[in-house]
Structure 1
Amino acid sequence: MNLGLCGSHRTGKTTLAEAISQRMGIPFVKTGTSEVFRQHGLDPSNPLDFEKRLWIQHKILNAAERVWQSEEKPFVTDRTPLDMAAYTLADIRGSTEVNFAELEGYLSRCFDVTNKIFKLLVLVQPGIPLVYEEGKAALNESYLEHLNFLILGLCNDARIKSIFLYIDRHTTDIENRVRTILEAIEKVKADIKTN
């Protein structure tokens, strides 16, 4: 069963994915968002108009899907198409010019890839102390909350067929986070056997 950890940046998803990988003996599959930006001559920290944002988001989703599909065994990853959808939606403001049909097409593709690749989605919510690191995304707590609620909404969308759970924001200890996920996996396996 493929496990997708989703949530805003700086919430401990990578550390948690590494711990789950070690505990379960499954691969931790990384995707290269920054690499995709660089391949197309863009800097992820620079602002983009929405048309360019949607264009690069398609490239990022395609690259990630290729990586995930190349895996022959169950894996864990620290980014899902729903994260990509949330970051795209977060760029829209009241005055942003958006081709809604193109946006809807992208969001539908994010839902389709999520359903095809991931059996279990786990939202890792903000809660751990924020620590500045060179080259990492901005430490804007309000933006992290904004993304968290976007992803929470996307995970609960009727188009999502994956099983979804969230880690309570007060669960910040890595061992408690790992235990929460391992218990959820066992429950999912038991439910699959009984159905």
Structure 2
Amino acid sequence: MASSKKNITIIGLCGGHRVGKTTLAAELARQSAFIFVPTQTSAVFLRHHLRPDMPLDFATRLWIQNEVLTDAQRLWQAQTQDFITDRTPLDFIAYTLADIQAQTPVEFAALTDYINRCFQATLQFFHQLILVQPGIPLVFETGKAALNQAYIEHLNILLLGLLHDERMQSHLMVIPRDMLSLQDRCDYILSHFTTVTSTIED
């Protein structure tokens, strides 16, 4: 079957867990012409009898992160209109890197391949990435990643670095740390948003 092209605008919110990405994405969709397409990271873990909050050896972590990316790509590929989503491939890189300590055994070639996959997916789907930084009160939710303020800060700093990697070509926006009101965040994004269109091949 011949391929067809879809010209749609895609916004990706990135950031650590429990910083308000999903709530913000849903509210932005309500106030704009975008639809909200939530990612299904927890569902991918559960499908493989894992949980985002459970300790994993790094080989398993890298394997499940590849599954998460593949699932997200299928989801984004299937869209036919402008959308906003609450996870990006840069989030997937950050969570993977955050599991590495000085003594962690890592197959570096496999890690590099995964990181390259994530950057390629970012370039394919996203032209506008928005970092949602920590600051709102943390609320526990069963099955989510560790509710650890220092860990969330670690992820945020990793993402700040990834957003400025030379492989990035997307428009970038960082919501100020002290901007915690949901409406203030929406207003900031909508007033600074750069309209771009991503061409996706079926």
TM-score when normalising by structure 2: 0.89
Q: Displacement, 1:44?
A: 2.5
Task: Give the equivalent residue in structure 2 for 1:18.
Answer: 26
Question: Out of 67, 80, 92, which is 1:84 matched to?
Answer: 92
The 3 A distance-change label for structure 1 pair 52 and 137 is: closer
Cα deviation, 1:143-172, whole Å, max 9, x if unaligned, reads: 010000001111110101111110001000
TM-score when normalising by structure 1: 0.92
Structure 1 unpaired stretches of 5+? 191-195
Task: Give the equivalent residue in structure 2 for 1:93.
Answer: 101
In the alignment, is residue 157 of structure 1 matched against residue 165 of structure 2? yes
Is the Cα contact below 8 Å between 2:52 and 2:144 reproduced in 1?
A: no
Instruction: Give the SS at the match of 1:24.
Output: coil
Alpha-carbon distance in 1 for matches of 2:129, 2:118:
13
In the alignment, is residue 117 of structure 1 matched against residue 111 of structure 2? no
The 3 A distance-change label for structure 1 pair 109 and 28 is: same
In the alignment, is residue 107 of structure 1 matched against residue 115 of structure 2? yes
Instruction: Give the SS at the match of 1:3.
Output: strand
Task: Give the equivalent residue in structure 1 for 2:57.
Answer: 49
Identity across aligned pairs (percent)? 51
Structure 2 unpaired stretches of 5+? 1-8, 197-202
In the alignment, is residue 71 of structure 1 matched against residue 79 of structure 2? yes
The 3 A distance-change label for structure 1 pair 138 and 125 is: same
Count of residue pairs the alignment pairs up = 188
* Aligned-partner residue type, residue 127 of structure 2: K
The 3 A distance-change label for structure 1 pair 38 and 136 is: closer
Structure holding more helix per residue: 1
Q: Displacement, 1:16?
A: 0.4
Q: Displacement, 1:183?
A: 1.3
Alpha-carbon distance in 1 for matches of 2:158, 2:178:
19
In the alignment, is residue 182 of structure 1 matched against residue 190 of structure 2? yes
Taking only aligned residues, the RMSD between alpha carbons, in angstroms, comes to 1.3
Q: Displacement, 1:45?
A: 2.3
Instruction: Give the SS at the match of 1:121.
Output: strand
Alignment of 1:2-13 (within 5 A): 2-13=10-21
